Amino acid sequence: MLIDFVGLGSMGLGMAVSLVKAGHTVRGFDPASPRVEMLVEAGGAEFGDALPQADAVVSAVLNADQTRTVLFGEQGVAKRLRSGGVIISCATVSPAFAAEMEAQAADMDLLYLDAPISGGAIKAAAGQLSIMAAGSADAFATADPALEAMAETVHRLGDHAGPGSAMKAVNQLLAGVHIAAMGEAMAFGASQGLTPAQVLKVVSVSAGTSWMFENRGPHVVDADYTPKSKVDIWLKDLGIVTDIAASSNLPVPISSNALAQFRAASEAGLGNEDDAAIAKYFARAGGVTLPGDN
């Protein structure tokens, strides 16, 4: 397939390279030119004018506003697709927004796959993501070769856009709560004289563990908050969760509280650090010292 790929971030670049490795022709765009250069070095190409129309567009940008702009804005990539081509949209957005994008694509005689992703940068680079997808049978059929290259598992959740984004919101509810709980547990352990390394070693083989605890806990142990997923991401993702819940009149007090903690951490200056830095917020609030703190 000829695929245009927009958004070569920590996950997007790995996804695009996985497409190249599977034999697809991939043209990439990202505001950060070094990311495009990395794709070119891996066998991809950069965007250009007067090129053949693509079979598919993969959009791996940050949020709904960016999705709308890159797909249907003045320079939107939807115009680069052939008639009947498919948009594979991977950002975390609301189900209502995904349905709106599907309708706009249909107006242009394009297919749309609501396809948020999970798995992290390492699995993205290995073509082993989990993709929570929803769309028409034609959208799945057209997108299948690309999905096969990027994902280990494709969850087919419905025949129209929306359920994929709904499922991603469920996943993000749990992921955000688990990261916040990891940070609280690390600070709590330190307040009792335990080192983060001890907490990580014991909890990782005990009933209290979670994937997020085992993945983010080492960041606290190593005092390495280089952002792989920023604190501020959770203001958006848990904000989507609480907005969806409010529209259904469903109370979500645990995820709402986690959102409040991430918001407070951001306001404390940690917004651009790795989301494991939520542990620093809890520790500093309680006068507790973690690795890397003076």
Q: Cα separation of 252 and 233, whole Å?
A: 19
Q: Is the pLDDT of residue 209 over 80?
A: yes
Q: Is the pLDDT of residue 271 over 70?
A: yes
What's the pLDDT at 50? 60
Number of H helices, E strands in the chain: 12, 9
H-only helix segments in the chain: 12-21, 33-41, 64-72, 95-107, 120-125, 137-150, 163-191, 196-203, 211-221, 233-247, 253-265, 278-285
List the catalytic residues.
Answer: 168
Tens-place pLDDT, residues 210-222: 999 999 999 999 9
When pLDDT is averaged across residues 68-94 and rounded to a whole number, the result is: 96
The domain at 2-161 falls in which architecture? Answer: 3-Layer(aba) Sandwich (3.40)
pTM attached to this predicted model:
0.94
CB within 8 Å of 128: residues ≥ 6 apart: 119, 151, 152
**CA-CA-CA-CA torsion for 139, 145, 151, 152, nearest 10 degrees?**
110
What's the pLDDT at 289? 96
When pLDDT is averaged across residues 71-93 and rounded to a whole number, the result is: 96
CB within 8 Å of 114: residues ≥ 6 apart: 89, 95, 98, 101, 102, 133, 134, 135, 161, 162, 163, 164, 165
Any idea where the domains of the chain sit in the sequence? 2-161, 165-285
| Percent of the chain topping pLDDT 90 | 95
What's the pLDDT at 149? 98
Q: Which superfamily does 165-285 belong to? A: N-(1-d-carboxylethyl)-l-norvaline Dehydrogenase; domain 2 (1.10.1040.10)
Record the tokens describing residue 219, joined without a space. 């960041």
Tens-place pLDDT, residues 102-161: 999 999 999 999 999 999 889 999 999 999 999 999 999 999 999 999 999 999 999 999
Q: Is the pLDDT of residue 163 over 90?
A: yes
Tens-place pLDDT, residues 220-241: 999 999 998 999 999 999 999 9
